Amino acid sequence: MIDLKNVVIKEKKVDTILTKSNLPIAGYSINPYVGCPFACRYCYATFMKRFTNHKEDWGMFLDVKYWNKINNPQKYKGKTMIIGSVTDGYNYFEAKYKRTRTFLEEMQGSGINLIVTTKSNLVTRDIDLIKNYPNPLVSWSMNILDERFKKDMENTPTIKSRIEAMKQIHDEGIRTTCFISPIFPGITDVFSIIEEIKDFCDYIWLENLNLRGSFKGTIMNYIKEKYPALYPLYDEIYNKKNISYWEMLDKQVEEYANKNRYMYVIDEEPFFKNPTGKPIIINYFYHEKIRQSSKKR
Ligand code: SF4
């Protein structure tokens, strides 16, 4: 657990908060901060340290961005903007600095498609602003209901508070996503999470744990120490590149979806229309081979 008092905070002037994105789901990404005190051990955004010359550990610094006011926001009408691709716009310091809220205020009336991704319940503070966007979507990521495992991996608000926030936002008529990510083999129980949120969730996105770069060693060592019985499985998946675990899970999700009459699709864009009134499950498993084999069905 990070002591927030030790996080090095700097306020920074930037020209713009709008960054053109190559994410498949959005034309622009909005990151009101550099760094993230949620400090997930599996965070893929730690490369931002290199880009911004930070020497502190991930989670121990935060640059607060101040940008030039967005001129004529209407010119972005119809564009999709995602908040939180390499930081969490609702990290603990947003309560004080309100940079995400400022962005939402500046873009009022612009007609953009807004996606907010977070691990926090603080997003409920901004329901008044989010509601005004044409078809907003708020997504919470979580990968377990067990708060102890969550504490080992993340310095985030509780899972319980995220689920309550999801319900509150859904009750306000805003579309919600439960992003079950990253799925830890043998630890994440996809189905118990779905059962917990299915009544107030429009989309369920699934993404497998993808161990790349510096955190591979951290996670493998953690598994060896805390879940030694699972280590051979992790070794198969992440050292020997065996994908059969993901193929099996893909099959199980398909069976679960068929049984419960949920639509289950592979790699669809996240706004895929939902004619069922039940959550749509969208599989974003990383591995190309799984995508191809699944698409043949
Ligand atoms: S909340 Fe997202 S950006 Fe922040 S540390 Fe976790 S994975 Fe990284």
247-261 pLDDT, tens per residue?
999 999 999 999 999
Distance 268 CA to ligand 1 centre (A): 23
Which of 54, 53, 41 lies closest to 7 in space, CA to CA?
54
Q: Is the CB of 65 under 6 A from ligand 1?
A: no
91 close to 120: Cβ distance less than 8 angstroms: yes
**Is 83 a pocket residue for ligand 1 (Cβ < 6 Å)?**
no
pLDDT at residue number 286: 57
Going residue by residue through the chain, which has 297 residues, state the pLDDT in tens, using 9 for 90 and above: 789 999 999 999 999 999 998 777 779 999 999 999 999 999 988 888 888 889 999 999 999 999 999 999 999 999 999 999 999 999 999 999 999 999 999 999 999 999 999 999 999 999 999 999 998 999 999 999 999 999 999 999 999 999 999 999 999 999 999 999 999 999 999 999 999 999 999 999 999 999 987 789 999 999 999 999 999 999 999 999 999 999 999 999 999 999 999 999 887 766 666 677 789 999 988 545 544 444 444
Rounded to 10 degrees, what is the CA torsion of 79, 291, 138, 27? -20
- The CA distance from 220 to 48, in Å, is 22
Please, are residues 74 and 108 in contact by the beta-carbon 8 Å criterion? no
Residue 26: the pLDDT is: 78
Residue nearest to atom 3 of ligand 1 (CA): 87
List of residues 6+ apart from 221 with CB closer than 8 A:
none
Instruction: Answer whether 85 contacts ligand 1 (Cβ < 6 A).
Output: no
pLDDT at 293: 45
Q: What is the pLDDT of residue 288?
A: 52
- pTM here is 0.93
Distance CA 100, CA 25 (A): 20
* Ligand 1 contact via 39 beta carbon (within 6 Å): yes
Paired tokens of 38: 């949620």
The predicted structure's pLDDT at residue 23: 77
Atom of ligand 1 nearest to the CA of 119: 1
Q: How far apart are CA 262 and CA 254, in angstroms?
A: 9
Burial of 132 (0-12, 13-18, 19+ CB in 10 A): middle
**Torsion angles phi and psi, residue 27, rounded to 5:** -80, -25
